Amino acid sequence: MLEIETNNCWVQFIEFVQNRCSGAEYSNWIEPIRLIQATPDEIVLEVPNIFVQEYLLDNFKDILAHFLPLKHTGDPAISFVIAEPLEAKMVLREPELIEQPAVQQDVKLNHLYKFDAFIEGPSNQFVKSAAIGVAARPGKSYNPLFIHGGVGLGKTHLLHSVGHYVLEHHPKSRVQLITTEGFINEVVDALRNKSIDKMKRYYRSLDVLLVDDIQFLQNRLNFEEEFCNTFEALINQNKQIVITCDKPPAQLKLSERIVARMEWGLVAHMDVPDLETRVAIIKHKSESRGFSIPNQIAFFIAEHIYNNVRQIEGAINRLCAHSRLMAQEMTEDVVEKILNEMFQSSSSNRKVSVESILKSVASIFEVRISELKGESRHKEIAQARQVAMYLAKELIDDSLMKIAAGFGGKTHSTLLHAWKKISDQVQVNETLRRQVQMVRRNIES
Ligand code: ADP
Ligand code: MG
């Protein structure tokens, strides 16, 4: 008898909250909860994951306390069990599909973006293995997987790789990849065509949702909520979500709610690849275009383009095209000439400052900025300082006096002297020439 009453308490609680929260909130957070046992002292609830449990307690503890038996602390007496993500649920999906007229859309994955074409190095090993992890066990390891990093470092490549892998290993899975812009456009279209419910059903029926460039959701308030609801609906059914972004979640100008959701799973950073990895990428990309680049040239390119793999690809394409047309031997000079335009175009109309030169010189020559501005005659420091002065004269369009002042008040004749000396040295000293070039690229990138 009492048991039935406790049971009723839960039903009453459900009715109570149903009238007080939005449809999306209810279906994402409350509906997935199952009452599995009710005694006079306690109820046992089954939740799909820990987030639903936390959500329930964070938002409804006081209300629950009005309906349910209490512990001696005054808190509602509930124990939680986390539901096993049953393989069987996968099998059940077919009949569900018939009920849901959600259209299965083809997922458009770039066939070149697969895991085995993604070159690993210290900068991206962790992200790659996390991506393989979620692809191998969607919804069961990290959810969501949030990948962030600079432009052209392979975020989109990895995102597509997850899609390919899942479809190869579980061909029946429903996988969709969206760009944030694409998602927004779809919502707009669906609203116009009054098909928003259909769209919602479609997204909520996916097994894996891949979202590219979430930063574009910033300042799109109306869509943020729709996205967040879709996101929660999927996560709470243990469906996998992978997101890419140009910055970590905390730096996104999005609501606290959505930022917190992004941080639920694993946040992985993708760094700029180191020299060896860049060389390996160059070799791999050129070979896959049927074009073999000698090691020395691969290193040469890798030294000049270091913070964007997409630019490296651009360089390879240009070289391939050139070598097909000209049948010319690929020497460093030839390569430099071909790529020069490209190196410069990335730097044109950028204003260089003494500070940015000092910063780059300091990092490449491994000295402090204060030492560059100081008086030390220590050989390494003095040479680095002269390189900075040389580059300042080369790159800054200003009076020598003004430039010299940026070096802790040196005179313009000191600057001229340094410029002359380094100009001569780079003609004969190969190591120095390369170092100077690296600083230059670094400043110009
Ligand atoms: P992002 O999305 O981070 O801006 P992309 O995924 O679009 O970058 O990558 C840009 C290009 O560089 C793609 O053609 C991609 O294949 C290539 N790329 C980036 N990183 C790697 C890597 N580690 N191995 C192979 N190719 C890479
Ligand atoms: Mg991208």
In Å, what is the CA distance from 92 to each residue of 34, 136, 139, 203, 240?
A: 18, 21, 17, 18, 18
Cβ of 119 closer than 6 Å to ligand 1, yes or no, is: yes
Q: What is the mean pLDDT of residues 26-40?
A: 87
126 vs 327: which has the higher pLDDT: 126
- Residue 103 predicted with pLDDT over 80: no
252 vs 99: which has the higher pLDDT: 252
Distance CA(372)–CA(358), nearest Å, equals 7
Most confidently predicted of 35-44, 114-123, 257-266, 338-347: 114-123
Most confidently predicted of 61-70, 148-157, 407-416: 148-157
Name the band, by pLDDT with cuts 50, 70 and 90, for residue 3.
low
Distance CA(154)–CA(102), nearest Å, equals 32
- Residue 89 predicted with pLDDT over 60: no
Position 344 scores a pLDDT of 53
Q: Who's near 49: CB < 8 A, 6+ residues apart?
A: 82, 235, 236, 238
| Per-residue tokens: 192 | 């116009």
Distance CA(48)–CA(236), nearest Å, equals 6
Closest ligand to the CA of 214: 2
| Domain 115-270 of CATH type 1.10.1660.10 | no
Q: What is the mean pLDDT of residues 319-331?
A: 77
Q: What is the mean pLDDT of residues 416-431?
A: 90
Cβ of 278 closer than 6 Å to ligand 1, yes or no, is: no
Name the band, by pLDDT with cuts 50, 70 and 90, for residue 85.
low
Q: What is the mean pLDDT of residues 97-125?
A: 77
- Minimum CA distance residue for ligand 1 atom 27: 154
Closest ligand to the CA of 154: 1
* Domain chopping of the chain, boundaries: 2-82, 115-270, 275-345, 354-444
What Rg value do the Cα atoms of the chain yield, rounded?
29
- Residue 87 predicted with pLDDT over 50: no
pLDDT tens sequence across 338-396: 887 666 555 444 578 899 999 999 988 989 999 999 888 999 999 999 999 999 988 88
* CATH class belonging to 354-444: mainly alpha
pLDDT tens sequence across 138-161: 998 899 999 999 999 999 999 999
| Per-residue tokens: 128 | 């790659």
- Residue 408 predicted with pLDDT over 70: yes
| Per-residue tokens: 348 | 């044109």
Position 136 scores a pLDDT of 95
In DSSP notation, 277-320 reads HHHHHHHHHHHHTT----HHHHHHHHHH--S-HHHHHHHHHHHH
Task: Tell me the CATH architecture of domain 2-82.
Answer: 2-Layer Sandwich (3.30)
- Minimum CA distance residue for ligand 1 atom 14: 310
Q: What is the mean pLDDT of residues 317-335?
A: 79
226 vs 120: which has the higher pLDDT: 120
Position 343 scores a pLDDT of 64
Sheet containing strand 145-149, edge to edge, reads: 175-179, 208-212, 240-245, 145-149, 266-270
Distance from Cα 67 to the centre of ligand 1, integer Å? 54
Atom of ligand 1 nearest to the CA of 117: 25
Distance CA(296)–CA(378), nearest Å, equals 33
Distance CA(108)–CA(164), nearest Å, equals 10
Distance from Cα 308 to the centre of ligand 1, integer Å? 8
Atom of ligand 1 nearest to the CA of 120: 23
Distance CA(389)–CA(383), nearest Å, equals 10
- 161 and 129 Cβ atoms separated by less than 8 Å: no
Q: What is the mean pLDDT of residues 60-84?
A: 87
Q: What is the mean pLDDT of residues 388-410?
A: 85
Which among 34, 111, 129 has a CA at the least distance from the CA of 80?
34
Cβ of 160 closer than 6 Å to ligand 1, yes or no, is: no
Distance CA(101)–CA(198), nearest Å, equals 7
